[in-house]
Amino acid sequence: MAEAVVKKLSAVVLPALLLIGVYDYLTNFESNYCNMTYMYETPEYIPIPLHPDVHKQFPHYKLYLYGEGTKSYDGIPVLFIPGNAGSYKQVRSLASVAYRMSVKYSFHFNYFSVDLNEEYSALYGLTLQAQTEFVHASIKRILKLYQTSKTSSPCSVILVGHSMGG
């Protein structure tokens, strides 16, 4: 008898729970406040040559200039540092939005990004140390690029670190 009651009860309760779940799935929407980033020109990742000693010490790391359209070293330098196992190409979203917003202003940003070979920097301290030294060499190289520009040379670089390890 108890078994029959359990079967009848589950025959009613389980479909009711299923209907409640389907109803909630179809009607309970959260507002999406995220905006997509759009590019109106082809993104380019231009390799920046480093001193041979730096290249020898860090053969798997690279420095890139992100660009859409014209390339000149007359903006405010920004260096994007990807996080743990991150890609240098993650700079695209941030740089593209900044590029669109700067159209309204008399200044703009030049975005650089370091390729740290998508290493797991959060898991091993020596990797993080090597990446820190490479970023330091990259900052020096970025500032040297501006010494040849026609505008005044910046004395610092804005750093943007992404996620764990950046």
Tell whether 7 is covered by a domain: no
Q: List Cβ neighbours of 71 (8 Å cut-off, separation of 6 or more).
A: 44, 46, 65
Specify if 37 maps to a domain.
Answer: no
Q: Assess whether 156 carries a catalytic annotation.
A: no
Instruction: Report yes or no on 25 lying in a domain.
Output: no
Closest residue by Cα to residue 95 from 34, 132, 44? 44
77 assigned to some structural domain: yes
Number of domains in the chain: 1
Residue 85 located in a structural domain: yes
Residue at 36 is within a domain: no
pLDDT in tens, 81-121: 998 999 999 999 898 888 888 888 888 899 999 999 999 88
- Does a structural domain hold residue 3? no
Amino acid at 43: P
Whether 20 maps to a domain, the answer reads no
The pTM (predicted TM-score) of the whole model is 0.76
Can you tell me which residue has the tokens 């301290």?
A: 125
Sheet with 62-67, edge to edge strand ranges: 44-47, 62-67, 109-115, 76-81, 158-161
Domain residues for the domain of 99 are 44-165
How confident is the model over 19-53, as pLDDT tens digits?
988 888 888 888 877 777 777 678 899 999 999 99
